[in-house]
Amino acid sequence: MSESKRLTKRQRAVIEDLFADQANEREVLDRHNVSAALYDRWLGDERFRQCVEERIARAYRQARLILARNAPQAAQKLIELTGCPKEDLARRACLDIIAPPADARPKEAPPANAASDPAAELPPETAARLLAALANTGDENAD
Protein backbone atom coordinates (compact mmCIF):
# COMPACT_ATOMS: atom_id res chain seq x y z
CA MET A 1 0.00 0.00 0.00
CA SER A 2 1.37 3.38 -0.90
CA GLU A 3 2.30 5.72 1.90
CA SER A 4 -0.42 8.35 1.60
CA LYS A 5 -1.04 10.96 4.27
CA ARG A 6 -4.67 10.04 4.93
CA LEU A 7 -6.86 6.98 4.99
CA THR A 8 -9.06 6.35 1.98
CA LYS A 9 -12.83 6.78 2.18
CA ARG A 10 -13.16 3.02 1.96
CA GLN A 11 -10.77 2.47 4.88
CA ARG A 12 -12.61 5.05 6.98
CA ALA A 13 -15.95 3.43 6.10
CA VAL A 14 -14.68 -0.01 7.15
CA ILE A 15 -13.40 1.37 10.45
CA GLU A 16 -16.70 3.16 11.09
CA ASP A 17 -18.70 0.00 10.39
CA LEU A 18 -16.46 -2.13 12.59
CA PHE A 19 -17.61 -0.03 15.53
CA ALA A 20 -21.10 0.98 14.37
CA ASP A 21 -23.09 -2.22 14.80
CA GLN A 22 -22.94 -5.78 16.04
CA ALA A 23 -21.54 -7.17 12.79
CA ASN A 24 -18.34 -9.13 13.09
CA GLU A 25 -15.15 -8.24 11.26
CA ARG A 26 -15.74 -10.66 8.36
CA GLU A 27 -19.29 -9.34 7.78
CA VAL A 28 -18.03 -5.76 7.64
CA LEU A 29 -15.25 -6.67 5.23
CA ASP A 30 -17.69 -8.57 3.00
CA ARG A 31 -20.09 -5.62 3.04
CA HIS A 32 -17.30 -3.37 1.77
CA ASN A 33 -15.91 -6.00 -0.62
CA VAL A 34 -12.54 -6.06 1.16
CA SER A 35 -10.54 -9.28 0.85
CA ALA A 36 -8.62 -10.76 3.76
CA ALA A 37 -5.37 -10.03 1.92
CA LEU A 38 -6.26 -6.36 1.42
CA TYR A 39 -7.36 -6.04 5.04
CA ASP A 40 -4.04 -7.56 6.15
CA ARG A 41 -2.21 -4.97 4.05
CA TRP A 42 -4.29 -2.22 5.63
CA LEU A 43 -3.40 -3.55 9.07
CA GLY A 44 0.24 -3.31 8.04
CA ASP A 45 -0.25 0.43 7.46
CA GLU A 46 0.63 2.34 10.64
CA ARG A 47 -2.03 5.03 10.05
CA PHE A 48 -4.82 2.48 9.56
CA ARG A 49 -3.72 0.45 12.56
CA GLN A 50 -3.43 3.59 14.69
CA CYS A 51 -6.92 4.70 13.67
CA VAL A 52 -8.33 1.28 14.64
CA GLU A 53 -6.48 1.40 17.97
CA GLU A 54 -7.84 4.89 18.67
CA ARG A 55 -11.38 3.65 18.02
CA ILE A 56 -10.82 0.70 20.34
CA ALA A 57 -9.53 3.05 23.04
CA ARG A 58 -12.57 5.30 22.51
CA ALA A 59 -14.93 2.31 22.84
CA TYR A 60 -13.28 1.26 26.12
CA ARG A 61 -13.38 4.84 27.38
CA GLN A 62 -17.11 5.01 26.58
CA ALA A 63 -17.67 1.72 28.41
CA ARG A 64 -15.81 3.01 31.48
CA LEU A 65 -17.91 6.18 31.42
CA ILE A 66 -21.11 4.12 31.33
CA LEU A 67 -19.88 2.04 34.26
CA ALA A 68 -18.83 5.13 36.19
CA ARG A 69 -22.18 6.84 35.58
CA ASN A 70 -24.06 3.79 36.82
CA ALA A 71 -21.75 2.85 39.70
CA PRO A 72 -23.87 4.59 42.38
CA GLN A 73 -27.02 2.73 41.27
CA ALA A 74 -25.12 -0.57 41.09
CA ALA A 75 -23.70 -0.03 44.57
CA GLN A 76 -27.16 0.81 45.92
CA LYS A 77 -28.59 -2.34 44.33
CA LEU A 78 -25.85 -4.44 45.93
CA ILE A 79 -26.63 -2.90 49.32
CA GLU A 80 -30.34 -3.70 48.81
CA LEU A 81 -29.48 -7.29 47.85
CA THR A 82 -27.73 -7.85 51.18
CA GLY A 83 -31.20 -8.01 52.73
CA CYS A 84 -32.54 -10.43 50.11
CA PRO A 85 -34.41 -13.47 51.48
CA LYS A 86 -32.39 -15.67 49.11
CA GLU A 87 -29.40 -16.19 51.35
CA ASP A 88 -26.95 -17.16 48.62
CA LEU A 89 -27.78 -13.98 46.70
CA ALA A 90 -27.39 -11.87 49.85
CA ARG A 91 -24.06 -13.53 50.63
CA ARG A 92 -22.74 -12.93 47.09
CA ALA A 93 -23.85 -9.27 47.27
CA CYS A 94 -21.95 -8.91 50.55
CA LEU A 95 -18.84 -10.43 49.00
CA ASP A 96 -19.12 -8.16 45.96
CA ILE A 97 -19.31 -5.12 48.24
CA ILE A 98 -16.39 -6.17 50.39
CA ALA A 99 -14.07 -7.28 47.56
CA PRO A 100 -14.80 -5.58 44.22
CA PRO A 101 -13.05 -7.05 41.17
CA ALA A 102 -9.47 -5.86 40.69
CA ASP A 103 -10.13 -4.46 37.20
CA ALA A 104 -12.88 -2.20 38.56
CA ARG A 105 -10.53 -0.47 40.98
CA PRO A 106 -8.92 2.82 39.96
CA LYS A 107 -5.58 2.44 38.19
CA GLU A 108 -3.84 5.01 40.41
CA ALA A 109 -2.22 3.93 43.64
CA PRO A 110 -4.21 4.83 46.75
CA PRO A 111 -2.91 7.71 48.87
CA ALA A 112 -0.37 6.70 51.50
CA ASN A 113 -2.75 7.56 54.34
CA ALA A 114 -5.68 5.58 52.89
CA ALA A 115 -6.88 2.63 54.91
CA SER A 116 -6.02 -0.71 53.33
CA ASP A 117 -9.34 -2.18 54.49
CA PRO A 118 -12.14 -1.52 51.93
CA ALA A 119 -14.71 -2.05 54.68
CA ALA A 120 -13.35 1.05 56.46
CA GLU A 121 -15.23 3.21 53.95
CA LEU A 122 -18.61 1.57 54.70
CA PRO A 123 -21.05 3.27 57.05
CA PRO A 124 -21.27 1.38 60.37
CA GLU A 125 -24.89 0.28 59.82
CA THR A 126 -24.05 -1.14 56.39
CA ALA A 127 -21.00 -2.93 57.76
CA ALA A 128 -23.13 -4.41 60.55
CA ARG A 129 -25.72 -5.65 58.02
CA LEU A 130 -23.00 -7.19 55.88
CA LEU A 131 -21.40 -8.96 58.81
CA ALA A 132 -24.77 -10.21 60.07
CA ALA A 133 -25.70 -11.52 56.63
CA LEU A 134 -22.36 -13.29 56.28
CA ALA A 135 -22.64 -14.73 59.79
CA ASN A 136 -26.15 -16.03 59.09
CA THR A 137 -25.10 -17.79 55.90
CA GLY A 138 -22.07 -19.23 57.67
CA ASP A 139 -24.21 -20.63 60.52
CA GLU A 140 -26.61 -22.34 58.13
CA ASN A 141 -23.80 -23.83 56.05
CA ALA A 142 -22.23 -25.31 59.22
CA ASP A 143 -25.23 -27.66 59.71
Give residue-wise pLDDT tens across range 15-48.
Answer: 999 999 788 999 999 999 999 999 999 999 999 9
Supply the pLDDT for residue 51. 96
Looking from the CA of 142 toward its CB, the CA atoms found within 13 Å total 6
C-alpha distances out from residue 99 to 8, 25, 92, 104, 137, Å: 48, 36, 10, 10, 17
Instruction: With cut-offs at 50, 70 and 90, classify the pLDDT of residue 142.
Output: low
pLDDT tens-digit map of 46-60: 999 999 999 999 999
Statement: residue 100 has pLDDT above 70: no
Supply the pLDDT for residue 133. 73
What's the predicted TM-score (pTM) here?
0.57
Residue 3 · residue 39 · CB < 8 Å: no
Burial class (CB within 10 angstroms; exposed 0-12, middle 13-18, buried 19+) of 108: exposed
pLDDT tens-digit map of 108-137: 555 555 455 555 666 777 777 777 777 776
Supply the pLDDT for residue 105. 54
